[in-house]
């Protein structure tokens, strides 16, 4: 703390990202990155962009990327917003769409950035308890609110809410924005983007960090009614009008266009997930049903924090949250087959 800090900064409780270790040899299964590289076409598009043009500012609106996303989902570019990672897109949504004085609702077990943004933007919130099976109960959201946000599949549980339930939520809350954070949807969910023409209060966010393996590029997006998108544009243009650089726009657009590589790598992750679930169950773990590129598992006889520490000694890092209800769970990202095997071998020896 310093005397130069404003009282606002003193009171902030920032988000703590998963560890990015400096040791190269670790089996890194703690931040849900994709074990396969980005599309070779995305790499080529970025390489083609590397040159004299970098002296020029990028397109502030990232039109090329908006068009690629619009083509992929069959929407118009006016329904698409792009930003520097979905974290930034979420921040703008919180700032521009959730500050209504009424509490924002999100699950008690959910993405831990949501309460951080509430703190940053002064948004009151209520954490709504998931049920005993860690599922969202739509009925529990039938209360006055200034908005609703949840990841689907949820993080860190991996559990999926079906589109029919999302429609019930949208219909019950016509006067607030329902934000579906689809960071992991490509690994087993169905996107709610198909509903944006029907529900003007629906905003869907996605990221290229997971299923398109571009966490290092920092690209996220939102799809929704043009008026919701305009709110995000107004915030963005009051904060940083060039959030995506030239490489990011080119690489992300090419990644969206390469459907074949995307489908192949998602399928490989899904197949590995099923193998990891089976392996963990054989070792006595209970594993929540996952539609994501990670699994959430607990061992009835073993302490999760201790397991995480012991795994680390064996060179395998997974994520453990010191949080009520989930303190006995480990969140384990799905890696390449040899990494998954290293995890199972390490657990076997503990």
By CB under 6 A, residue 58 contacts ligand PLP: no
Q: From 194, 118, 188, select the one nearest 152 (Cα to Cα).
A: 188
CA distance 333 to 292: 9
Q: Which is nearer to ligand PLP, 181 or 233 (by Cβ)?
A: 181
Q: Which is nearer to ligand PLP, 138 or 183 (by Cβ)?
A: 183
Q: Which two tokens stand for residue 294?
A: 């990670």
Q: Which residues pair with 180 in a beta bridge?
A: 150, 204
By CB under 6 A, residue 151 contacts ligand PLP: yes
Interacting residue with ligand PLP among 146, 220, 251, 335 (CB under 6 A): 220
Q: From 302, 298, 291, 304, select the one nearest 334 (Cα to Cα).
A: 291
By CB under 6 A, residue 183 contacts ligand PLP: yes
Minimum gap (Å) between residue 221 Cβ and ligand PLP:
9
Find all residues with CB under 8 Å of 7, minimum gap 6, and list them.
Answer: none
By CB under 6 A, residue 245 contacts ligand PLP: no
By CB under 6 A, residue 243 contacts ligand PLP: no
By CB under 6 A, residue 155 contacts ligand PLP: yes
Minimum gap (Å) between residue 113 Cβ and ligand PLP:
7
CA distance 323 to 204: 27
Question: What number of other Cβ atoms are within 10 A of residue 175's Cβ?
Answer: 11
Residue pair 27/38 in contact by the 8 Å Cβ criterion:
no
Q: Which is nearer to ligand PLP, 183 or 223 (by Cβ)?
A: 183
Minimum gap (Å) between residue 54 Cβ and ligand PLP:
23
By CB under 6 A, residue 293 contacts ligand PLP: no
78-137: which residues touch ligand PLP (CB under 6 A)? 85-87, 111
Q: Please work out the total of residues on this chain that contact ligand PLP, with binding judged by CB under 6 A.
A: 13
Residue pair 292/324 in contact by the 8 Å Cβ criterion:
no
Count CA atoms closer than 13 A to 244's CA, side-chain side. Answer: 30
Q: Which residues bind ligand PLP (CB under 6 A)?
A: 32, 85-87, 111, 151, 155, 181, 183, 207, 209, 215, 220
């Amino acid at each position: 703390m310093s005397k130069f800090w404003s009282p606002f900064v003193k009171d902030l409780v920032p988000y703590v990202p998963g560890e990015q270790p400096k040791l190269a040899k670790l089996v890194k299964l703690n931040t849900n990155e994709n074990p396969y590289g980005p599309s070779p076409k995305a790499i080529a598009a970025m390489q083609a962009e590397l040159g004299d043009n970098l002296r020029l500012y990028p397109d502030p609106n990232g039109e090329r990327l908006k068009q690629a996303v619009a083509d992929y989902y069959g929407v118009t570019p006016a329904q698409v917003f792009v930003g520097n990672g979905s974290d930034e897109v979420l921040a703008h949504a919180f700032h521009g769409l959730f500050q209504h004085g009424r509490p924002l609702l999100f699950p008690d077990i959910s993405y831990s950035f949501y309460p951080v943004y509430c703190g940053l933007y002064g948004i009151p919130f209520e954490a709504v308890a998931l049920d005993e099976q860690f599922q969202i109960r739509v009925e529990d959201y039938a209360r006055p609110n200034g908005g609703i946000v949840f990841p689907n599949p949820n993080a860190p549980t991996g559990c999926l809410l079906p589109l029919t339930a999302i429609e019930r939520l949208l219909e019950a809350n016509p006067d607030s924005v329902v934000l579906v954070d689809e960071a992991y949807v490509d690994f087993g969910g169905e996107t709610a983007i198909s509903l944006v023409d029907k529900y003007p209060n629906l905003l869907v966010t996605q990221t290229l960090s997971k299923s398109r393996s571009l966490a290092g590029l920092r690209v996220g997006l939102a799809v929704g009614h043009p008026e919701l998108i305009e709110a995000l544009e107004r915030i963005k243009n009051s904060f940083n009008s060039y959030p995506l650089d030239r490489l990011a726009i080119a690489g992300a657009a090419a990644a969206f266009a390469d459907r074949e590589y995307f489908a192949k790598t998602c399928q490989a992750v899904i197949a590995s997930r099923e193998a990891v679930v089976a392996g963990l169950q054989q070792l006595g773990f209970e594993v929540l049903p996952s539609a994501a590129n990670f699994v959430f598992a607990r061992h009835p006889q073993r302490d999760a924090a201790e397991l995480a520490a012991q795994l680390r000694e064996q060179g395998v890092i997974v994520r453990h949250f010191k949080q009520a209800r989930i303190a006995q769970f480990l969140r384990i990202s799905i890696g390449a087959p040899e990494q998954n095997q290293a995890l199972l071998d390490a657990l076997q020896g503990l």
